[in-house]
Chains A and B, each alone.
Chain A
């Protein structure tokens, strides 16, 4: 039995997306920039995908910029916004629990003379709107807050954050990393006051190497890639047509039957949390119920190193992550877990289960059963002090 519970790392490509991908790889393989009919067909495929995606977030088509994925979207949003607005100021606000594809470009910007303020989070992993309000300054040009944390699933109050930011200065750009949120929440950036929003394709059953950045019309962002001037000069380089088309399809699909799917994931999440916390020494991190995304469960198992637990579950066919899988395979201490004040001995003992709409109740039951059986056995070999 193979139970894949690492959907926050990546997902299986959906059949509909795959079909489209294959068609565009082998039949309609033109370059959208070519003037002939094949070029036009490719361009149509991109336009069609753009339309589908724009619809899911009630945006205009021209506000969707296709990228190679979440990391590129975040980099473009931050570097592009910082360089385009540096005359208005050099102050940027973010949080301590951002993904490396946000925190690393911000570190780079710090070296370039920008000043970055990091908001702290509470024990659930939530920022405080009051603290954000106090951090805002006249020279704040950009605020970047992730909507759903990739390690513990906590949901940030982005709408309230937007209101506070815009009240302080309507020109301050608000970037939201929605990589773990898109497909799990209905997000309408324009209504919510979001100027820039990053999304990754392979987290929602599209192929890897796809993503988009929502750029609100008239928001000032400079390109990072220069060249042939594709995508209205904002991102040069021949479009990944098959990937984009597949992404469009997967995006549309993820918002079909949406309420049922999120309710299903939420129910399984609750079941999983209840089931595993029955074992002594197992606790879950992050916010309860509606305060967290429906697909992520962060569990600390006292006395068992995360990597050991991961491989032990793997032997039983269950695939999970240690901390956050997305940040390569370096076993570095998680900043997110540290920031929510997790006890030091649990930092290295935390694994992440992440579900998708296709996860079944049987799979969750099997995972619970296996963890309940293995955890006590592994705890027996905890380092003796």
Chain B
């Protein structure tokens, strides 16, 4: 634990949710809730409060600054995190002395350009913003003769907000943006062990959607380690999304039955149609409003426009495909940013990569697929019922 933190509080900036009219308090409450959740794993205890369209995180005693900032950077809805000094209003002179004191502690090298950016939210303060800017700037120049004012491109922005307390801060650490998870319902993510699906889950969660997930496990063709990898991936994205209920479906018998009955080149498409059906079953069961996949047009045979149409056809819920127009490299970049990449590339097979035909259909006709699926009519309902019944549900929580 780092005991000598310069800051005891953080000012949390949020943008989009401030414009949500009468629903605003719902969004703010969700954001406060998510901040609480995210800070649970951090060394230290915190008080989170809402005040005049601002959210403050106050550290109670000693805490780990770096861990705190990192945790807050995982909370969707936060646009900026400002380590802030809160001052009581004891007149301008006291304010100026306090600001100079802050600068003295914050910056070892006092040779920089700056600009004072004052905002008077409490209108009964005796000075206007412009006046504060000028007077405070003067006092800073006096105290630190090597500094210079630059109003266009300052190296240091001295932000002073006059509220009940006076807020002084010098930097805005970028947050992840988006909207607080839980403010836009819930969706079911089809999570494989690959690179794409965790990114897809992250992107939809960023828009405020809570996430549940379904994984298709095919022992002995996929190993316990492959399953562990998916749990690990869910754990990584749960830092952003909060708890994820992961459904592990035992898919082997369905897969083998399709393999026995249907043309080999259609195997992947038919298999994916059953995955969608099963995922939708669990989605409905747990109150989800849509499905999420990591598909991107043309990436593999099962993601051509025709194939997407064929898998989409079995769903009644909307299917959200946030990566649909992304190139692989763009997806990889996000997965590196959200730290799922290294886990995703571990070499364990997932059930999409077994039994793959040498030349799978790339332009399946829905009619042909529907016809071939009829070959499964004898046993498929029983197999699906069995798969649903034996599905393992794991509650994945962030560490």
Contact = CB atoms under 8 A, between A and B. Distances in A.
A330 B358 CA distance: 24
B355 interface: yes
Contacts of A381: 256, 259, 355
Interface stretch (B21-29, B113-121, B217-225): B217-225
Interface in A195-217: none
Interface in A124-149: none
Given A381-B259, A381-B355, A385-B358, A330 B220 contact: no
B372 interface: no
B347 A307 contact: no
A334 B357 CA distance: 25
A112 interface: no
B349 interface: yes
Contact of B225 (A309, A312, A329, A384): A329
A369 interface: no
Contacts of B259: 381
Given A312-B220, A385-B358, A330 B347 contact: yes
B347 A314 contact: no
Given A330-B347, A381-B256, A384-B264, A311 B223 contact: yes
A238 B223 CA distance: 39
B347 A311 contact: no
Contact residues on A (Cβ < 8 Å of other chain), bracket: 10 to 19
A341 interface: no
Interface in B210-228: 219-221, 223-225
A264 to B, nearest CB: 31
B219 A383 contact: no
B220 A383 contact: no
B139 to A, nearest CB: 58
A308 B220 contact: yes
A111 interface: no
Interface in A311-353: 311-312, 314-315, 329-331
A314 B358 contact: no
Contact of B220 (A315, A329, A331, A384): A315
Contacts of A383: 355
Which one of B223, B264, B357 has the greatest number of beta carbons of chain A within 10 Å?
A: B223
Given A381-B256, A383-B355, A384-B264, A331 B219 contact: no
Contacts of A329: 225, 347
Max count, chain A CB within 10 A of own CB: residue among B220, B221, B224, B256: B220
A331 B349 CA distance: 10
A297 B225 CA distance: 25
Interface string A228-270: 0000000000000000000000000000000000000000000
A206 B330 CA distance: 50
A303 to B, nearest CB: 13
Contacts of A311: 219-221, 223-224
A330 B347 CA distance: 7
A314 B355 contact: no
A385 B224 CA distance: 28
B132 to A, nearest CB: 62
B193 to A, nearest CB: 14
Contacts of A312: 220
A310 B223 CA distance: 9
Given A307-B349, A381-B256, A315 B223 contact: no
Contacts of A385: 358
B351 to A, nearest CB: 12
A196 to B, nearest CB: 34
Nearest to B346: A329
Nearest to A315: B220
A330 B345 CA distance: 11
B347 A331 contact: yes
Contact of A315 (B219, B354, B355): B219
Interface string B354-366: 1101100000000
A139 to B, nearest CB: 40
A312 B256 CA distance: 14
A329 B225 CA distance: 10
Contacts of B221: 308, 311
Nearest to A311: B220
B253 to A, nearest CB: 12
Interface in B347-398: 347, 349, 354-355, 357-358
Contacts of B357: 384
Contacts of B354: 308
A321 to B, nearest CB: 13
Interface string A362-385: 000000000000000000010111
B257 to A, nearest CB: 11
A304 to B, nearest CB: 10
B225 A314 contact: no
A314 B264 CA distance: 28
Contacts of B219: 311, 315
B353 to A, nearest CB: 11
Contacts of A315: 219-220
Contacts of B347: 329-331
A314 B256 contact: no
Given A331-B347, A381-B256, A384-B264, A307 B355 contact: no
Most chain B beta-carbon contacts within 10 A, residue among A310, A381, A385:
A381
Interface in B233-284: 256, 259, 264
Taking each of A307, A309, A312, A385, which has the highest tally of chain B beta carbons within 10 Å of its own beta carbon?
Answer: A307
Nearest to B264: A384
A195 B349 CA distance: 44
Contacts of B224: 311
A173 to B, nearest CB: 37
Contacts of A330: 347
B368 to A, nearest CB: 19
A307 B358 contact: no
B231 to A, nearest CB: 17
Nearest to B221: A308
A137 to B, nearest CB: 40
A170 B141 CA distance: 81
A311 B357 CA distance: 22
A293 B259 CA distance: 41
9 contacts: A307-B349, A309-B220, A311-B223, A329-B347, A381-B256, A381-B259, A381-B355, A384-B357, A385-B358
Given A307-B349, A309-B220, A315-B220, 13 more contacts: A308-B220, A308-B221, A311-B219, A311-B220, A311-B221, A311-B223, A312-B220, A315-B219, A331-B347, A381-B256, A381-B259, A381-B355, A384-B264
Interface of B: 219-221, 223-225, 256, 259, 264, 347, 349, 354-355, 357-358
Interface of A: 307-312, 314-315, 329-331, 381, 383-385
Q: Which 6 pairs of residues, A with B, have the shortest CB-CB distance? A: A311-B220, A312-B220, A384-B264, A308-B220, A308-B221, A311-B223
